[in-house]
């Protein structure tokens, strides 16, 4: 679950920073996870899941404002959790 929580933070930050341009979210996610020594293989998948759904884009922006990682994951909708679960290993 820690990886999923961190990935949601990265995704939300990338959306805020990039304006959700194609590829930017995955690139930001990959850079952040590689810097932490983590597996970034789910980043492209997460970008595809989030950018394909305007509601998820908005939700990930909102989730990015929650400072506590556990609270952030707990606050995610079932759809957001499903995207994180689908794309993380």
pLDDT, tens digit, 9 for 90 and up, residues 15-27: 555 454 567 778 8
Distance CA 39, CA 30 (A): 8
d(CA 61, CA 36): 22
Better pLDDT: 28 or 71: 71
Q: Given pLDDT bands bounded at 50, 70 and 90, which one contains residue 14?
A: low
Number of structural domains found in the chain:
1
pTM above 0.75, yes or no: no
More confident residue, 21 or 62: 62
What pLDDT is stored for residue 76 in this prediction?
92
Q: What is the pLDDT of residue 6?
A: 61
Host domain of residue 77:
2-87
**Encoding tokens for residue 2?**
């820690």
């Amino acid at each position: 679950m820690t990886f999923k929580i961190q990935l949601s933070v990265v995704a939300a930050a990338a959306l805020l920073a990039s304006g959700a341009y194609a590829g930017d979210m995955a690139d930001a996610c990959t850079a952040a996870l590689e810097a932490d020594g983590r597996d970034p293989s789910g980043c492209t998948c997460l970008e595809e899941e989030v950018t394909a759904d305007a509601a998820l884009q908005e939700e990930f922006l909102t989730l990015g404002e929650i400072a506590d990682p556990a609270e952030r994951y707990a606050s995610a909708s079932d759809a957001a959790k499903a995207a994180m679960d689908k794309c993380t290993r």
